[in-house]
Chain A
Amino acid sequence: MSLTLIVAFTVLMLLAIPVGHALIVAAGTALLVQGQIPLTIIAQQMYQQTQSFPMLALPFFMLAGSLMLGGALGNELLAFASKAMQRWRGGPLSTTVVASVVFGGVSGSAVANASALGSVLIPWQKRQGYPAPLCAANNATSAIIDILIPPSIPLILYSLVSNVSIADLFTAGILPGLLMAGGFIVLCSWIARRRGYVSPEAPVSKAELARLAWRSMPALLMPVFILLGLRFGIATPTEIAVLAVLYALVLSVVLYRDMSWRRFRVSMVEAGVATGVVMLVIMGSAIVGWILTFDQVPQRFAEWVSATISNPYFVILAMNILLLLVGMPIDLPPAILLLGPIFVPLAASIGLDPVQLGIIMVLNLGIGLYTPPIGTTLFISTSIARTSLGETTRELWPFFGVAMIVLLLVSYVPALTIY
C-alpha cells in the first residue's frame, strides 16, 4: 500500500496538483488499490485533525503577526532596525538581518517576512549604492531567521507530529536564530568593507535611537511575553496566541490608532486562508501517516538506517542531506508533516533529542526556501530587486555558507538547542 501511495503522490505532484490535495488523492488511490480498508478512514483522519485544540494557535499567531506588522508598528520596527544599523559599515544590508530578528518575534512566516521587508528595504538599499543581486540574496537568506524566533509556525507544526512541547521548541529556536543573525551581520560588514560600500546617510544620535527603540518596545516585547506565558504555564499555546491577538489589537487601537474594521477583516481572512492551506496539508499528511504506520514504514526505516549506518554522526549528516534535498522542491509545512513521523523514531534510536531534531528540520527546510534553483524567498527577493535569478544566486553562496556552518553547529552541538 505504501508503494502505491508514494508512486501516486509523486505522479500527482509532478502534475502540479497542490500538495494537500495530492496527499488526500494519493492516499485514496492506495486504499482503493489495497481494496480492504474503507475510504471512510480518510474522512475520519481528516476530521480528527480539525479537532486539535493546540492547532487553534495557528490562525491566531498568524492574525497577531498580520495585525502588528500591517500597521504603524511595522514601520516603527523597521525605522528602529535601519537607524540602529546605520552607524556600522554594511549597516543598510545588516538592517534586513536585524529586522528579520525583530519581525520574527511578531510574525511566524519566512515568506511573509521576505516580502514585507524586501519591498521596503531592497529599494532603499539599492538607493544607498548596494547592488540589487546582493540585496536580494541578503533578503532571501535572512528571512528564515523569522521561523527560528518565536512564534514560529513551522515549529508549531513540528510539535504536532513529534508531541514535543511548543514552549521547549520556541526556546530552542532562539539561540540558533541569533547565531544565524550574528553570522549574517558579520558577513554583510565583511562584504561592505571588502567592496568599499559607504553609507551616504549620517548615523542618528543616541537619543533618537533610544526614542525609536522605545516606540518599538511593544513589538520587541511580544516574543518575551509569549515565552514567559508558555514557560510559567500562565496559558496554553492556543490561549497565548489569542492573547497575542488582543495585545496587537490594543496596541493598534489605543497606542498607534491605526486599526480599522477593514484592516481587521483583511487580516482575519489572510489568517483563515493560511490556516486552510496548512490544515489541508495536515489532514492529508494524517492519512498518509496512517497508511505508513499501518505498513510499519517509520519503524522499518529506523531499523534499516540503524543497521546500515552505525555511527549516529553519519545518521545526522544523512538526515541533513535528505532534508536539504527535500526542502528544495517541497514547501516547509508538508515536508515537516511528512518527514517528522519518520525522523522522530529514527532520532530516538540514535539518542538525538526531539527538540534538537525539530530545530535541525526547520533550519534545513528553511534553507530550502532559498536554495537554487527553486526557492520561494529566493524568487520573491529576486523579483522585488528586479534582478536575475543567476545574479542573485552568485551573491547567495557566502550567505549559504554561513547558514551551513550554523546548521552543522545546531546538528552537532546539543547545547545550542537544549538548555
Chain B
Amino acid sequence: MDRQPETGWRASAITLADGVDRLAARFCELVVIAVGSALLAMLTANVGARYALESGGFRFAQELPERLFPVFIMAGVVLGVQKGGHMAVETVLAMLGRQGARLMLLVGHAIVIGSYILLSKDILLLADMLWIDRSPVMGIPASYGYYTLAIGLALVIVVTTTQAVRVALMGPEAMPVPGPEEQVA
C-alpha cells in the first residue's frame, strides 16, 4: 500500500490508529496461539484417553473446548477485520471514484460501529443475567461466553474505528487487502 506522507494532526492520528491496531493485533494473536494450542493439547489428550482409560476419555473434554472456542473465534474475528479477511461484495465500491469509495466505506464503518455498540449493550445485559446458568461438568457460568462476545465486539469496534480513521485521512487505499491464506472459500 503506497501511503502519502502525512503531516501535522493527520500524521498523529494515523500514528495513533496504527499503534492501537498493533496493540489489538498482538493481543489477539497471542490469544489465538495460546487458546489454539490449548485446544489442540486437550483434544489430542482426550483421543488418547478414550482408548487408554476405562471411563472413555476426560469428562471435561467436550465442555472446556466449547467454552474456550468463543475466545479463539472472537480473536480471529478481530484479526479478520484488521487483515481485511471478512468477505464483502465490492462490485458497487469498484464502480465509484476515490471520493465516492471513501464516503461509502466510511458510511459502512459507521453502521458497523453503531450497530455493535447497541448489540454489545444487550450482550452485557444478558451476560449479567446468566451467572446462574452453569455448565454441567465444570460449573462454568454461561456469562463468561457472553462477556467474551462483548469484549470481541468491543475490539471489533476499536479496529473498525482505526480503519475508518485511516480511510478518512488516506483514502480507500488504506483498506487492508487479504492474503489468500486469509480467505476461506
Contact = CB atoms under 8 A, between A and B. Distances in A.
A111 B183 contact: yes
B79, B87, B108: most-surrounded residue (chain A CB, <10 A): B87
A390 interface: no
B83 interface: yes
A217 to B, nearest CB: 23
A393 to B, nearest CB: 17
A39 B122 contact: yes
Contacts of A53: 62, 65-66
Given A16-B105, A246-B44, A21 B185 contact: no
Contacts of B112: 17, 21, 25
Given A28-B115, A272-B72, A40 B122 contact: yes
A109 B70 contact: no
Given A272-B75, A273-B79, A18 B87 contact: yes
B181 to A, nearest CB: 5
Given A43-B122, A275-B72, A332 B111 contact: no
Interface string B74-117: 11111110010111111111000000000011011001100100
B180 A380 contact: yes
Interface string A144-157: 00010000011000
B36 interface: yes
Contacts of B62: 53
A274 B118 CA distance: 26
A15 B92 CA distance: 7
A55 interface: yes
Given A14-B89, A275-B73, A111 B184 contact: yes
B119 A21 contact: no
B28, B142, B180: most-surrounded residue (chain A CB, <10 A): B180
A72 to B, nearest CB: 18
B132 interface: no
A274 B85 contact: yes
Nearest to A245: B40
| Count class of interface residues, chain A | 35 or more
Interface residues of B, number: 61
Contact of A25 (B111, B126, B181): B111
Interface stretch (A58-66, A94-102, A131-139, A203-211): A58-66
A251 interface: no
B182 interface: yes
Contacts of A243: 44, 47
B86 A43 contact: no
Interface stretch (A112-120, A160-168, A345-353, A403-411): A112-120
Contacts of A332: 184-185
A269 interface: yes
A268 B29 CA distance: 9
14 contacts: A17-B111, A28-B118, A40-B125, A43-B119, A50-B149, A63-B40, A242-B47, A246-B40, A272-B32, A273-B32, A277-B87, A277-B184, A278-B184, A332-B185
Given A15-B104, A17-B111, 13 more contacts: A12-B108, A13-B89, A17-B108, A43-B122, A51-B66, A60-B40, A109-B183, A111-B180, A112-B180, A238-B43, A239-B47, A268-B32, A272-B28
Interface of A: 12-21, 24-25, 28, 38-40, 42-44, 46-47, 50-53, 55-56, 59-60, 63, 66, 109-112, 114-116, 147, 153-154, 235, 238-239, 242-243, 245-246, 265, 268-281, 329-334, 369, 374, 376, 380
